[in-house]
Chain A
């Protein structure tokens, strides 16, 4: 009995640790929505009265809206481009054996582990040297660089889940490579494709460091937020914006994760 009691204490300890961990992780984030409804310029307790005026100011702020739409433009192009590249790369990695396959897979992770600031400086130097005008396009290009490995891994895990014989069966039944892609590969990979589009969108949307180095005169939303931190009276608006982004991100990521797990059933096909 003694050991049972002991392990129960151990279990309590673990539960407590788990709760503390979640508090540490999420409470700071929860301050965002909390103070965004607080009628005060200062982020401090006690709370004053409830207000939505920061949200009203946010929607009236042209500069902010402009940055928001810039970010949406960049993120949308990045998600499409990197997902297409990811599908192609994932197909190559999962369907063909070619020399250098393993090193190439290794190199693919590189942009994910190189610190953003190093990558930012490197890309800035390269852009200057190549004579590229800094703009939203240079930002988008840099985001494609970091989002493509991401998309590739999402697509690899999706394509590995389904039987290559399905594509061969389609060829066997008279479809060319291209029509096989549309009739078999695409519908089966669709949940992965949607997940990849959403995740790379988010990745680009909230990226700061590369955008910071590579921006021209147009700002993305994270750059705009950063620029506003110098003005204390704009802080509550930033909090309101942050709360909106937080909500949207949670919804998108949850949806993407749900999509990614959808009908992994193609793997069932390989079993009897």
Chain B
């Protein structure tokens, strides 16, 4: 399967409520199978952007394409997109199985097929055996799993998640980060999730965008957050001189399928960790502790941290 890089494509999307410009000229391309984060402070229009993708708000201008189809004015119920709401929106009058099966009515499935799809979904979210629970007999974490299953059972092209972890307590949140990430890798569906937590975005997403934030001006000092896997180690500066920094290799650890390097960079207190898959041809011949190396990264893999 070819992974399109513009599987989800927003072009100059704007949405205002009266005088409030909730979303202002956003253009984004999101690749197929990507775990994409929309990061930004409260009120910057993240939810509105997600609702535009879900079909709950019509943009005032701009267009929305998913898998090549123009969905700008397509109603929510006809989009190949499903959403996990921030408060999960579990139907209170239905039990877990009925909640999960809610969206299967129009798929033309037999009763048995439907039951099978629901069972699969229950297994995916590890809630086997809870199918007959009433929706108000669930914990916060279980409600979230049901909301996830209810959306995934439809096999959407894109899954939207609005601050999926914010209603959970801290330890559960950290566990769910790992699980959500693993789930996304397993089902291979494009996930677009919204958060205002940088750490959360960095630990889960392949790529991060911040609506309503412009590019830094030339010469401005910025802090960049990059996941260890997104850094590339080399001995040459990047060709155009951008997105690279020079440092000294201070430690290297070879951990079976992964290598970890630690690089000290001028002006940064802690050594920076760089991870690389053993299969990727990292050219580390001749490097030893104390060698001068270059860290480079794709612009899309990095996240500007301000404030």
A: residues with CB less than 8 A from B are 162-163, 165-166, 168-176, 183-184, 187-188, 263, 265-266, 268-270, 272
Chain B residues whose CB sits within 8 angstroms of the CB of A263 once the complex forms: 92
Closest 9 CB pairs of A and B: A173-B103, A165-B89, A169-B89, A171-B76, A272-B140, A165-B85, A272-B167, A266-B92, A171-B77
B54 near A172 with CB under 8 A, answer yes
Q: Using an 8 Å CB-CB cutoff, how does the interface string of B84-108 with A read, 1 for contact, 0 for none? A: 0111111111000000001101100
* Distance from B48 Cβ to chain A, minimum over Cβ atoms (Å): 14
Interface size class of chain B, counting residues whose CB lies under 8 Å from the partner chain = 20 to 34
B297 CB–A CB distance under 8 Å: no
Task: Name, among A169, A174, A183, the residue most crowded by chain B CB atoms within 10 Å (CB to CB).
Answer: A169
Chain B residues whose CB sits within 8 angstroms of the CB of A165 once the complex forms: 85-87, 89
* Distance from A87 Cβ to chain B, minimum over Cβ atoms (Å): 17
Name the one of B76, B87, B88, B93 contacting A172, with C-beta atoms under 8 angstroms. B76
* Distance from B139 Cβ to chain A, minimum over Cβ atoms (Å): 9
A269 near B87 with CB under 8 A, answer yes
Chain B residues whose CB sits within 8 angstroms of the CB of A175 once the complex forms: 77, 103, 105-106
Chain A residues whose CB sits within 8 angstroms of the CB of B81 once the complex forms: 172
Tell me whether chain A's interface is mostly helix, strand or loop, or mixed: helix
Q: In whole angstroms, how far apart are the Cα atoms of A226 and B54 in the complex?
A: 61
Q: In whole angstroms, how far apart are the Cα atoms of A165 and B77 in the complex?
A: 14
Q: In whole angstroms, how far apart are the Cα atoms of A162 and B93 in the complex?
A: 12
B: residues with CB less than 8 A from A are 54-56, 75-78, 81-83, 85-93, 102-103, 105-106, 135-136, 140, 143, 150-151, 154, 167-168
Q: In whole angstroms, how far apart are the Cα atoms of A172 and B106 in the complex?
A: 13
Q: In whole angstroms, how far apart are the Cα atoms of A188 and B82 in the complex?
A: 23
- CB-nearest residue of chain A to B85: A165
Chain A residues whose CB sits within 8 angstroms of the CB of B75 once the complex forms: 171, 176
Q: In whole angstroms, how far apart are the Cα atoms of A266 and B91 in the complex?
A: 8
